[in-house]
Amino acid sequence: MTIGSAATSSPVPADPVVASATRASDPGSPPEPLRWLADTGAEWTTDQQILGRSRLDRSGWEPDGRPAAVVFPRTVTQVQAVLRGASATRTPLVPRGAGTALTGASTAGAGTVVIDLSRMNRIVEIRAADGIAIAEPGVVTADLDRAAAEHGLSYAPDPASVEISTIGGNIATNAGGLRCAKYGVTRDSVLGLDVVLADGTLINTGRATLKSVTGYDLTGLFVGSEGTLGVVVGATLRLRTLPTPTATIAAAYPDIATAAAASVALTGAHVQPVLAELLDEATLSALADHGLRQSGGALLIVQLDGGPVETSRALEVLRRGATSVRSDGDPAELLAARRQALPAIERLGRPLIEDIAVPRSRLAAAVRSIADIAQRHDVPICTLAHAGDGNLHPIIVAGSHGSPIPSAAHRAADDIFALALSLGGTVTGEHGVGVLKRAWLARELGEEQHHLQRRIKAVFDPLGILNPGKAI
C-alpha cells in the first residue's frame, strides 16, 4: 500500500475515498512504471482497496483487472502534470468523478491510471447578476443548485443522481433529469469549460456570456464526450430564474400505454410541463413501501409552472382515461417517491438501467414493445420514463445481486436498443455510451459519421490515452 504526494509529502486528508487507507507520513515512491506520478504534485495511491473501488462504476460492468494507481489532483496545474506524464509514458487515463456512471464509462482496468477529480470540488463563484456559476468538476450537482438557490436562482439539470453525481460527470454524459423537459439538459446550461488536453495544454472554451459564436462550439463538443477528448477542470454554468411550480398532478391510469398517450396529448393542449414522469405497474409495485401507494397500472406525475390556465388545460387532458387524478398531493413527497424508484427496484435484484429516447409521439408504442420484450425473454422490466421528452428508462431486473447477469437480460437489452432505433430514436438519451453501448454507436451514427467522429477523437487525443475503449 502506498499513498503519497511525493512533491508535497502532505498527509492525505480523511476523504471518504481513502477512508480505508492509513495516513502516510512517508508517502514513498510510486512503482517504476508510474515514477512520473511523483512529479505531478498530486496525491496518488496504489492501495488495493481503493483500486478495487475505483475500477467500477454503477453499470455492473467488470473490467479486466485493476488500475495501476489513482491520482487525486487538487489544482489545474496538477491535472496538467498528470496529462503530460501520461502522454510521455503512453499511460491510459480514466477520468472519474463520483463513479455514478451507468454505462461503464468510469470503469478502469489493468494498465490504466484513474484521475479522480472529486477533490476539485469548489464552487468558485456565483455571479448572480450575470446568471452564472463557476465550479470545479468535483462539485456535487445538488450542492450547486442549493448554492444558486441562495441567490434566487437554479441550476436546471437535475439527474436522478443529483445528490451523488458531480458536475464533471454530468458534463461527461450530458446528463438530463426531470425538469429538463422544460429547462434543458446539461449542454444547455454549460457556457464555457476549462479543459486540459491530452498533452497537458489548458484551453478555455466558451465564455461567461449567455451568447457567443466566436469559432466552433468546442464547449458543446466536450459535453457528452465521456472523458475521451480532454479533462474538464472548470465549468462556467448558466443559472436560471425558474418560476415556482404552480401545480403537481398525480394521474393514475389502467395501463402505461394510456398514461403515455395522456402525456403526449399535453403538447397538443398547449401545455409545457416542467416535468412529466411516467411509472409503470412493476415500478409502482416496487415503490409500494416507499410512500407511493398507488393502485392502477401506471402513474403519471406532471409538474407545471405556467399558471392556472395551463393547469386547467392539463387537468382536462390528464382526466381522459384516468382512474384517478389528484392535484392536492404534497409535491415534495411525490417527487421524492419518484427518486426512490431506482433504490426500490434495486431491492428486487440487480438492475440494468437502460436509457433510450424516442420521438415523443412514439412513447406509447415504445412502452408496449418493452412489455413484449420482457415477456419474450421472461425477464422482469420496470419502466420509468421522462415522458416530457420521450426518454425511457427500462430497468431490467437481471437476477440477484452478485450473480452473473443472465443472457436473457442481455438479449432483452439488445432488443430494447433495436426498438429505439426502429422508432427513430436513440440508444442513449442521457447516460452516454460508455462500454455497454459501443456496439450500438456505429449502428446509430452510420459508418460515415462514425468515421468522422473517430477522426475528431484523433485530433484531440492522437495517442489514444484518454478513457480508451469508451464511447467512441
Amino acid identity for residue 395 in this structure: I
Q: Is 208 in the site for a second copy (CB under 8 A)?
A: yes
Q: Is 28 in the site for a second copy (CB under 8 A)?
A: no
Number of residues in contact with a second copy under rule CB under 8 A? 92
Q: Considering only 29-37, 48-56, 118-126, 456-464, which stretch makes contact with a second copy by CB under 8 A?
A: 456-464
Among 23, 122, 270, 347, binds a second copy (CB under 8 A): 270
Q: Is 267 in the site for a second copy (CB under 8 A)?
A: yes
Among 67, 99, 109, 131, binds a second copy (CB under 8 A): 131
Q: Is 70 in the site for a second copy (CB under 8 A)?
A: no
Residue number, 204 or 295, with CB nearest to a second copy: 204
Q: Is 453 in the site for a second copy (CB under 8 A)?
A: yes
Residue number, 281 or 389, with CB nearest to a second copy: 389
How far apart are CB 44 and a second copy at their closest, in Å? 27
Q: Is 375 in the site for a second copy (CB under 8 A)?
A: no
Among 40, 121, 141, 173, binds a second copy (CB under 8 A): 173
What HEC string does the chain produce?
CCEECCCCCCCCCCCHHHCCCCCCCCCCCCCHHHHHHHHCCCEEECCHHHHHHHCCCCCCCCCCCCCCEEEECCCHHHHHHHHHHHHHHCCCEEEECCCCCCCCCCCCCCCCEEEECCCCCCEEEEECCCCEEEECCCCEHHHHHHHHHCCCCECCCECCCCCCCEHHHHHHHCCCECCHHHHCCHHHHEEEEEEECCCCCEEEEECCCCCCCCCCCHHHHHCCCCCCCCEEEEEEEECECCCCCCEEEEEEECCHHHHHHHHHHHHHCCCCCCEEEEEEHHHHHHHCCCCCCCCCCEEEEEEECCCHHHHHHHHHHHHCCCCEEECCCCHHHHHHHHHCHHHHHHCCCCEEECCEECCHHHHHHHHHHHHHHHHHHCCCEEEEEEHHHCEEEEEEECCCCCCCCCHHHHHHHHHHHHHHHHCCCECCCCCCCCCCCHHHHHHHHCHHHHHHHHHHHHHHCCCCCECCCCCC
Q: Is 149 in the site for a second copy (CB under 8 A)?
A: no
d(CA 229, CA 11): 32
Among 414, 456, 463, 464, binds a second copy (CB under 8 A): 456
Q: Is 95 in the site for a second copy (CB under 8 A)?
A: no
Pairing, β 69-72 against β 113-116:
parallel
How far apart are CB 148 and a second copy at their closest, in Å? 12
Q: Is 159 in the site for a second copy (CB under 8 A)?
A: no
Q: Is 174 in the site for a second copy (CB under 8 A)?
A: yes
Q: Is 452 in the site for a second copy (CB under 8 A)?
A: yes
Q: Is 21 in the site for a second copy (CB under 8 A)?
A: no
Among 429, 436, 467, 470, binds a second copy (CB under 8 A): 429
Q: Are 160 and 339 in contact (CB under 8 A)?
A: yes
Q: Is 271 in the site for a second copy (CB under 8 A)?
A: yes
Q: In the window 285-344, what residues touch a second copy (CB under 8 A)?
A: 306-307, 310
How far apart are CB 158 and a second copy at their closest, in Å? 14
Q: Is 14 in the site for a second copy (CB under 8 A)?
A: no
Q: Are 206 and 192 in contact (CB under 8 A)?
A: yes
Q: Is 84 in the site for a second copy (CB under 8 A)?
A: no
Q: Is 90 in the site for a second copy (CB under 8 A)?
A: no
Q: In the window 333-352, what residues touch a second copy (CB under 8 A)?
A: none
Q: In the window 215-254, what residues touch a second copy (CB under 8 A)?
A: 215-218, 220-221, 223-225, 229, 240-243
Q: In the window 178-207, what residues touch a second copy (CB under 8 A)?
A: 180-181, 184-185, 187-188, 197, 201-205, 207
How far apart are CB 4 and a second copy at their closest, in Å? 32
Q: Are 178 and 206 in contact (CB under 8 A)?
A: no
Q: Considering only 33-41, 51-59, 395-403, 457-465, which stretch makes contact with a second copy by CB under 8 A?
A: 457-465
Characterise 202 by phi-psi region: left (phi > 0), alpha (psi -120 to 50), beta (else): beta
Residue number, 173 or 303, with CB nearest to a second copy: 173
Residue number, 43 or 145, with CB nearest to a second copy: 145
Q: Are 192 and 232 in contact (CB under 8 A)?
A: no
Q: Is 366 in the site for a second copy (CB under 8 A)?
A: no
Q: Is 150 in the site for a second copy (CB under 8 A)?
A: no
Q: In the window 101-130, what residues touch a second copy (CB under 8 A)?
A: 127-130
